[in-house]
Structure 1
Amino acid sequence: MISDAQIWEYIRSDLPFDDLTTSLQGEFLNRQATLSIITRDDIVLSNVDITARIAAMLGCETTGKSENSQNFSAKETIFQAKGSYGNLHKAWKLIQILLEYSCKISTYTNAMVCAAKAVNPSCQIQTTRKTFPFAKEFCIAAVLAGGGAIHRLNLSDSVLFFKNHIDVYENFEAFCKRIEEFKAKLPEKKIIVECETLADFKTLLNFAPDVIQCDKMSLEELHEAVNLKNAAKFQPVITAAGGINLANCAKFAATGVNALITSAPYTQGMADLTASLKLV
């Protein structure tokens, strides 16, 4: 998913020329050494394949057997590499920082998945396209490693009508009457419509969109929406969006919706990792 060119760009952002600090330690530069990344928290590992590629591009060899989606407890080593002292110092922070961001996303995602499935085994956690700029592939890989799914990659992969799309029509029902036309124009794509009220939800049920995304509805409203769907002729997928995170995802999952739409995993900071670099 992430190309060599992207990795080289990441490397050059931290290493445009030479490592001035280790260049002053000439007597150690070519000595063999080891690098270990250790977690201080319980985590779900992600993007470790990218760190192995970084190490290789900088002349180091990954020696650990860690895999994406693997669970680690605090104080365990999550990544190991060997190489020259100079090259390992070039790779060290590039690898550690990448894992700190990535593992926080995958760990938080996994916690949401576990919380939701504990009350609704069929409920998915799906993340939005609100990845931080220039890091879409990285964020998506971390979400997948945490057991999450992707709600929407970009504007080109799916059809999702928001309020700003719907407001150009005379009224909500006038928009709904166009859904059949939209389906005919893109027969291989699902038509997703976001709504904010139960009244609009009831109207939508009569026009058979593929997915109804309930935005910022209360738990009680979502329960009623699911019951209405279950009794309806058409059976669209029902998703819930708006302010969903680890603290409340189990309650939202318990309403019976098919998926929870969230951006929360992208805004949780960094995993608490440390590094040990030693001469052999």
Structure 2
Amino acid sequence: MLTQHIIRTAVEAALAEDAPYGDITCETTIPADETGTASLTAREDGVMSGVDVFAAAFHAQNPAIEVTSAIADGERFHKGQSLATVAGPVRDLLTAERVALNFTQRMSGIAMMTAAFVAAVDAIYEGGFETRSGMHVARPRRYPRTRIVDTRKTTPGLRPFEKYAVVCGGGHNHRYGLSDAVMLKDNHLAALAARGIDLAGAILHVREQVGHTTHIEVEVDSLGQIPAVLEGGADTIMLDNFTLDDTRRGVELIAGRAIVEASGNMSLDRVAAVAATGVDVISVGALTHSVRSIDLGLDWQGR
């Protein structure tokens, strides 16, 4: 969760990194008593994320700076649109500018990419669950539409910001971290197998040790593993790098007895076809590890 404490701590650290001993450019060129106004302007279309973070960067530099937002997180904006204005001492405005933009540009880029994945999935349901472009569209069992979710492939230290941005783009969050849920992957299963514990037994072994509210997910890389995972009682089964045909077979085999997640090298070109197999969730690491920041700028308006 992106709290005010997390935001404040991160922007203060970023400001200290950027100007550890002050901003020598501003201090040698701008009078200490000069004030001014600037506008946050979109250089391209996008989806907003980070309104509070943008403001916090300026307030951490100088609480007297006035920040007025013209857009809310999750809203779309267009090239040339003014998204916010800032007013106050010019030295402080210019010192905080880059930190404020770095956060907001990246978060808006994540929101924009997420929105594109969500739109690609939503498009297959238009006109009902019929054949679309020669492709049968199956309904997911757990949700009205297949969900796009993020992963733990985030920038170290910035996970709360990046996962929040995914939600701004219409996506959902996977587990926040290792403490949130059990996720048995190939190496975990190999380690258990070395102790003589089979796949179904591994899940039961975990279930015996955790609380009843703890969610258990298991990653599989073949259809042959699914019966044992179902026998063990997994809550979610992740189909890792499955073909479309095998994904469809996996959904049919699981038959609603667990949440079905598809994962592995998910692209915008492929995601609609994967959703059409009827999986409940598609996890996309690219939302946070391969995103391009949206181009935003702070345009000077003078005194």
TM-score (norm 2): 0.85
Q: Are 2:199 and 2:229, in contact at CA under 8 Å, matched by a contact in 1?
A: no
Quote the offset at 1:171 in angstroms: 10
Matches of 1:244 and 1:172, distance apart in 2 = 34
SS in 2 for 1:177: helix
Quote the residue 1:216 is aligned against: 241
Give 1:206 deviation, angstroms.
Answer: 3.2
Deviates more, 1:208-217 or 1:131-140: 131-140
- Work out which of the residue numbers 146, 151, 164 in structure 2 matches 1:123: 146
Alignment of 1:163 onto 2:194: no
Aligned to 1:53: 56
Alpha-carbon distance in 2 for matches of 1:54, 1:178: 47
Following TM superposition, by how much is the alpha carbon of 1:123 offset from its aligned partner in structure 2, in angstroms? Answer: 0.9
> What letter corresponds to residue 155 of structure 2 in structure 1?
F
TM-score (ref. length: structure 1): 0.92
Deviation (angstroms), 1:247: 2.4
Query: Which residue, 56, 69, 75 being the options, matches 1:70?
Result: 75
Instruction: Note the 1:86-125 alignment, pairs <5 A.
Output: 86-119=91-124, 121-125=144-148
CA–CA distance in 1 between the matches of 2:249 and 2:15? 51
Which of 177-186 and 215-224 deviates more? 177-186
- Sequence identity (%): 26
Q: Which residue of 2 aligns with 1:32?
A: 35
2:285 is the counterpart of 1:256:
no
The SS at the match of 1:194 is strand
**Cα distance between partner residues in 2 of 1:22 and 1:7:** 20
Match of 1:268 in 2: 291
Q: Which moved more, 1:159-168 or 1:121-130?
A: 121-130
Root-mean-square deviation over aligned CA pairs: 1.9
Instruction: Report the equivalent of 2:138.
Output: none
Counterparts of 1:172 and 1:228, CA distance in 2: 27
Deviation at 1:278, TM superposition (A): 2.7
Whether 1:244 aligns to 2:269 is no
User: For structure 1, which segment, 174-183 or 204-213, has the greater mean C-alpha deviation from structure 2 after superposition?
Assistant: 174-183
Quick one: structure 1 residues 7 and 274, their matched pair in 2 at CA, closer, same or farther if it must change by over 3 Å?
A: closer
Whole-angstrom CA distance in 2 between matches of 1:86 and 1:176: 63
C-alpha separation between the residues in 1 aligned to 2:243 and 2:160?
32
> 1:225 deviation in Å?
1.0
- The answer on 1:142 being equivalent to 2:165 is yes
1:245 to partner: Cα distance: 2.7
Deviation at 1:132, TM superposition (A): 1.2
Structure 2: how far apart are the matches of 1:173 and 1:66? 54
Q: How many angstroms apart in 1 are the aligned matches of 2:53 and 2:299?
A: 19
Asked whether the equivalents of residues 53 and 104 of structure 2 are also in contact (C-alpha less than 8 Å), the reply is no
SS at structure 1 position matched to 2:239: strand
Matched residue type, 2:244:
L
2 CA distance for matches of 1:92 and 1:174?
56
Residue in structure 2 matched with residue 205 of structure 1 by the alignment: 230
Residue 172 (structure 1) shift:
10
Partner Cα distance (1:262, 1:173) in 2: 31
Amino acid paired to 1:71: R
Deviates more, 1:2-11 or 1:75-84: 2-11
Following the alignment from structure 2 to structure 1, what is the Cα–Cα distance between the partners of residues 265 and 112? 19
One-letter amino acid of the structure 2 residue matched with residue 123 of structure 1: T
Q: Bigger CA drift: 208-217 or 169-178?
A: 169-178
> What is the rounded CA distance, in whole Å, between the counterparts of 1:249 and 1:78 in structure 2?
31
Distance 1:56 1:160 in 2: 40
1:153 lines up with 2:157 in the alignment: no
Aligned partner of 2:136 in structure 1 is none
> AA paired with 1:224?
R
1:9-28 matches, cutoff 5 A: 9-27=13-31
- How far apart, in 1, do the equivalents of 2:59 and 2:231 lie? 57
Name the structure 2 match of 1:193: 218
Distance apart, 1:260 and its partner CA? 0.4
Is 1:229 the counterpart of 2:254? The answer is: yes
Give the direction of change, closer, same or farther, for the CA distance of 1:74–1:262 in structure 2 (3 Å limit): same
